[in-house]
A and B are shown apart, each in its own frame.
Chain A
């Protein structure tokens, strides 16, 4: 039975952009429809048009029928009776009103649609919070949104969406802002919620991995139009449209058995020992007081050899970016040692530091934020050259050369950053980093902000540059599939520590730390059959508050293995902080690793 039928829907924004161009689709009762597409495909506009929540000035034509009732053209008052009642939505940003408690906001959703008493609505709110897996639901209902983590807020959004047992839930990129470990949990909650109320779900995402394990049918969108629609197996196995096939090819995948290669005997270009970075935390906007300390980086050590790529991976907040920034400062760290190309950063004077900057360059995550919006591409790429005294006569030629090297054309030199696409901007960032012919490149999530196809292209570019220029990469990322493709070695970080480090093949094939295992398990596989058949270990709870010091193993509260251990073994985890042990190529900081290290 069809619950939602969209026919020839057209959405135009003020300014003339046509976001959705003639989309027709149906959703059956209890069905999960996945909608995929890259940014600008019109996915969100479609969802907002169905909800009747498009911003002012947007025009809608066509028909949206819910249970055979037309929604397009209805008044706000009439639509309000449907929204949240029969048709609910979960947004990408779990945006709750900051000044009302979570429980009140859920209760409001209930009360606005059915005339239950305040107390009954409260009770229902607690019940819903419990259903979406928030521990201590009755107590937590009195908390404010800012006291919840992103994953928990998204669960609250799901609780609100199912509060009135709707027949359709639209979920627009519900996990895009979350870590993979949290993403897996939120998807599970969404699945459970769907079972509980029997709603149909429209899951909108750019991530083909997420859809593979979740959707029954898939609709692929591009430029506001439907590319193709079909059962999930068919779309993944035999896509009819070339565009879909291209999308599927561009996904980085974990897999392919790569033989363990011995680590090449080359000189170490970057060595970090016991690096520490603690931030004071100031609270209050009017008066700022020190409320505690975040141990962002709490004693990490690794080395990178010439021509090698080491990836630092972990959830957001684990300290991987902070570690990168500490290295980039090229000055004395709070504790520990950073040695770059044989020079201890603590001993550098200003002139030597500036000279060393030529050899150590950085590419940032967000290409829009890392390029000065008021400078032209030529000026941006030339800045390192002028700074380091390259004669003006040589600069123009060098800029052209650099742009060509990163796959841009000379005419791009005259443009401003906002006139370029995301992938092109990131290429400008890379060109700037390469300008001084550095030997080490530090990359902070260089592809995280890019769409699938742009992501694949930039990774290919980085691989090519590494071969041609003999670069060494320190690569910070949260996407384990990307890391698998580009890295030689991987260091897994958790709460400011490295919990496991080793060659990428070994580590992915046989993770020794339960956290590594959980991270790998949480990565969705873009294959419907494999994804559904997987057995996975999920983490309990969220990342602990980084301000509270933990005795013993920091991972204990989330560890899937710890509750299963005999009491005597468990005591070790409670009392001793595991350290990565002595230096070899493969290290793990766990008292009870999943595989034995060093036996081979």
Chain B
């Protein structure tokens, strides 16, 4: 088992290194940081711009290969360089990673759990009212892009605030500036989390709900569920203990695939709700032409895929005895 994990780790590691390098080369080759500096008012002299770009390893007059070498050497020492403003990328990366995860983890967990439960429930009630409502809801949600969904939620919240006369919902930034007291501050932060979390949760919910419904329909008439009922289990119990438990196994792959993308999943949500996470940073950096920041975000995102894959392997092994035996043999 250990050997198998190590081999898998190495294989994926190579993939991540390649992906990171590719991202740097793409970013450095396509983006134009010089334009950003030259566009400043007052326009700095040519020599100053060049000196600044060289110091940041951004000058397009240096060959791409040598810029890549400098960057890669830095990355090997755990240093992603500096942003255009001269701030270290690392510190900003960690800070923003925290912001992104605080937003996307609760949203994804709520969305996927709800999706799995309601998807399974809809499958069991196939063709009945509950199934129709859930299926129609997930269909509609899937057709609504995140940026539209967020706008709709904002509109609904604004209407609710007006109707109640109190600002129950707040959504700009992570907190209201100048909110006094530790406890009030915490409540305020939670208040700001509601809408963006709901946005992420709803989007995830629709996806998982449809997957799980399909998987559950497949086991609904499985022979082993019939066997369980023939032994005297009621339909509900046979479906929960034998059907759902088995239908969950393929979901692991979806979970891990989605959690690998967790880091960047919040691009729209962050942008719209003004939360300064990785996704927002990525969009801004691309617009600004900030090569080092873009490359660092890409590396973080690619790295996130690595543990996600491993977790998926381990979880599948835990949930599915057939794989466990395969790994141990």
A–B interface present (Cβ within 8 A) = yes
User: Taking beta carbons and an 8 Å cutoff, which residues of A are in contact with B?
Assistant: 51, 53, 55, 76-77, 80-85, 88-89, 91, 93, 95-101, 105, 108-109, 112-113, 144, 146-147, 157, 160, 163-164, 283-287, 289, 291-292
> How many angstroms from the CA of A85 to the CA of B234 in the assembled complex?
13
Flag if A83 contacts B322 (CB, 8 Å): no
Please classify how large the interface on chain B is, using the bins under 10, 10 to 19, 20 to 34, 35 or more. 35 or more
> How many angstroms from the CA of A98 to the CA of B235 in the assembled complex?
18
Can you identify 24 A-B contacts, CB atoms within 8 angstroms?
A53-B226, A76-B234, A80-B232, A81-B232, A82-B232, A83-B232, A88-B231, A89-B230, A91-B226, A97-B224, A98-B246, A98-B321, A99-B246, A99-B319, A100-B241, A101-B321, A146-B321, A163-B231, A284-B323, A284-B327, A285-B323, A287-B7, A287-B8, A291-B326
Closest 10 CB pairs of A and B: A84-B232, A95-B223, A283-B326, A84-B231, A144-B321, A284-B326, A109-B231, A95-B224, A97-B242, A97-B224
Nearest chain B CB to A142 CB, angstrom units: 11
- Contact status of A76 and B316, CB under 8 A, knowing A55-B221, A97-B245, A99-B249: no
Flag if B232 contacts A85 (CB, 8 Å): yes
> How many angstroms from the CA of A164 to the CA of B322 in the assembled complex?
29
> How many angstroms from the CA of A113 to the CA of B326 in the assembled complex?
35
Flag if B233 contacts A112 (CB, 8 Å): yes
> How many angstroms from the CA of A83 to the CA of B233 in the assembled complex?
8
Flag if A146 contacts B313 (CB, 8 Å): no
B325 near A: Cβ within 8 Å?
yes
Flag if A286 contacts B313 (CB, 8 Å): yes
Which residues of the partner chain B approach A292 to less than 8 Å between Cβ atoms? 329
Which residues of the partner chain A approach B232 to less than 8 Å between Cβ atoms? 80-85, 109, 112-113, 164
> How many angstroms from the CA of A277 to the CA of B207 in the assembled complex?
46
Flag if A97 contacts B246 (CB, 8 Å): yes
Which residues of the partner chain A approach B231 to less than 8 Å between Cβ atoms? 83-84, 88, 105, 108-109, 112, 160, 163
- The answer, among B228, B312, B327, for a CB contact under 8 Å with A97, is B228
Most chain A CB atoms below 10 A, which of B222, B232, B312, B325: B232
B50 near A: Cβ within 8 Å?
no
B191 near A: Cβ within 8 Å?
no
B183 near A: Cβ within 8 Å?
no
Which residues of the partner chain B approach A51 to less than 8 Å between Cβ atoms? 230
Flag if B8 contacts A91 (CB, 8 Å): no
Flag if B326 contacts A80 (CB, 8 Å): no
- The answer, among B223, B234, B246, B322, for a CB contact under 8 Å with A144, is B322
Chain B 310-321 per-residue mask, 1 if CB under 8 angstroms from chain A, else 0: 001100100111
- Contact status of A147 and B325, CB under 8 A, knowing A51-B230, A91-B230, A286-B313: yes
> How many angstroms from the CA of A332 to the CA of B246 in the assembled complex?
43
> How many angstroms from the CA of A147 to the CA of B323 in the assembled complex?
12
Which residues of the partner chain A approach B313 to less than 8 Å between Cβ atoms? 286-287
Instruction: Give B227's nearest chain A residue, CB to CB.
Output: A95
> How many angstroms from the CA of A399 to the CA of B228 in the assembled complex?
50
> How many angstroms from the CA of A77 to the CA of B232 in the assembled complex?
9
> How many angstroms from the CA of A81 to the CA of B224 in the assembled complex?
19
